[in-house]
A and B are shown apart, each in its own frame.
Chain A
């Protein structure tokens, strides 16, 4: 964890917008997919990668909800970590970049399509780093819906018991899951209190706030695992998307895609 001394907010803001632009173009290839996840998580990925917290090739990255990989590919292409040309075949038969990440996906040390499993694997990677003394940090990205899986809490308990301060979790708390709002399916709140009660250091922040995200990741460690609960919204932050949109699995036609691109490009500074 070596954050740049003076964050370039304009750069991070533009990066988050370019993540969304890449994502809308990738999802538009098939006309449906995980664009909503980019709308809620773009700032988190922009800060994690653009803020130089995660050192590619050294630190570990676990993507627990594999369908978020569109956001990861989008930021990786912006930062030159993968060849941009691959974005054009995202989700197509035989493509390198699959819509839900797999063992052959670039950029992830561990990914899961079967939700709720990522944190356990991240703990394994973090334990290995502790045993090796190699200074690697493990970042795990989780989504709020998967907090309904019991394994997440088995893992949370274990990490706190072992004081794993080389482990950081980012949660996209966008209140969205397949069947609708998380609050309508099974309430997981109070989320921050739950993690606190499990022994974690908790940052409960606006997940679109670049400065808050940066501060949460840069804060000095306190001998405990850290979780950043990023409160996010999918639909409210983009005017072109109708409020009736299925946020988990967005459908895009060419006109809507163009409108979204125009709106996002206007946000670039």
Chain B
């Protein structure tokens, strides 16, 4: 595992999709007028016969994808996360999830990573997709995970939702990081607090773990890119020796990773305190990633606060150092 600021990769999804299309003749890619933004300009330009721009018509795109999949194609549909989940939810339920068709939904710009305000911020996409039977849900954090997730998703029979950061993608994990579409990754063991994170909250969680360790707490860290089906065994194993579980997701605390972990803990009878870091049942606003992650409680400091105020109430909270990302690198807020 590397240390922040992280190097940046560009278009890991688009590159992996193009490579997979070259290996799999049945693969098709559908878009809805966001081609460059979803990294699918690569496949559009190099394999135009595999790319169909449906236009600004997400409901129609989902239906067409279902028809193509019934005829034997593996179909990747692409848009921003808000538009390809919330806007066409019944279509996804009826045209893809119920018939368990081989359609993979790539939703970009998760949570408050978009400066575009509530219309562009997918804060409930994990909840929506997780509620659908037959749906697999990934919230991916780094370039290596994203690259591997494309072929992993294609091999899963049935629909998959891939939640993807847009633009500059951090390289967090080193060589040998295996994303298999099932397992969570136990990154460190500890006895005081267990941090469980997915997607864009993984860098902040790793940084928070370092601050807490330096301040004398023993911290377990789990990267959980598969939100459904949740790898409850790995998460519970990491959590069991601790006194507190903290989940961190760039999403509403309702229905996403935090809810999934809460359900797993309760069903296993693991009676630990739980703090859910994420949007606290609120829509956000326009703004930079730095501003929004700080304001809506998705920062390194917010995770540190959550752990410290629960385990060491009334004592001075350690402060997370300011992470400075040079241009061309990535650091959590």
Contacts and interface: CB of A to CB of B under 8 A. Distances in A.
> Are chains A and B native binding partners rather than an unrelated pairing?
yes
Interface of A: 62, 103, 109-110, 112-114, 117, 119-129, 131-132, 150-151, 154-155, 157-158
The 9 closest A-B pairs by CB, nearest first: A124-B67, A120-B63, A128-B71, A154-B60, A154-B57, A121-B67, A124-B64, A124-B68, A125-B67
Contact of A120 (B64, B69, B72): B64
A206 to B, nearest CB: 30
Contacts of B71: 124-125, 128-129, 132
Nearest to A117: B63
A151 B63 contact: yes
A250 to B, nearest CB: 26
Contact of B52 (A110, A112, A126, A127): A127
Contacts of A128: 67-68, 70-73
| B-side interface mostly | helix
Interface of B: 52, 54-55, 57, 59-73, 90-91, 94-95, 98-99
Contacts of B98: 103
A62 B95 CA distance: 12
A128 B69 CA distance: 9
Contacts of B64: 120-121, 123-124, 127, 155, 158
Contacts of A132: 71
20 contacts: A62-B67, A110-B66, A110-B67, A110-B70, A117-B63, A117-B91, A121-B63, A121-B66, A122-B67, A123-B60, A124-B63, A124-B70, A126-B67, A127-B67, A127-B68, A129-B71, A131-B73, A132-B71, A154-B55, A154-B57
Given A117-B94, A121-B67, A158 B99 contact: no
A154 B70 contact: no
Nearest to B93: A114
Nearest to B69: A124
Contacts of A110: 66-67, 70
A120 B70 contact: no
Contacts of B69: 124
A11 B18 CA distance: 54
Q: Which of B62, B68, B69, B90 has the most CB of A within 10 A?
A: B68
A149 B267 CA distance: 42
Given A125-B70, A155-B64, 18 more contacts: A62-B67, A112-B94, A113-B94, A117-B59, A117-B63, A117-B91, A117-B94, A117-B95, A120-B59, A121-B64, A124-B64, A124-B70, A128-B73, A154-B55, A154-B57, A154-B59, A155-B60, A158-B64
A125 B73 CA distance: 10
Nearest to B103: A124
Contacts of B59: 117, 120, 150-151, 154
Given A103-B98, A112-B94, A158 B60 contact: yes
Given A151-B59, A154-B60, A124 B94 contact: no
A122 B70 CA distance: 10
Contacts of A127: 52, 64, 67-68
Q: Which one of A109, A124, A155 has the greatest number of beta carbons of chain B within 10 Å?
A: A124
A125 B216 CA distance: 61
A123 B75 CA distance: 14
Considering residues B55, B71, B73, which has the most beta carbons from chain A within 10 angstroms of its beta carbon?
B71
A109 B90 CA distance: 19
Contacts of A126: 67
Nearest to B60: A154
B181 to A, nearest CB: 24
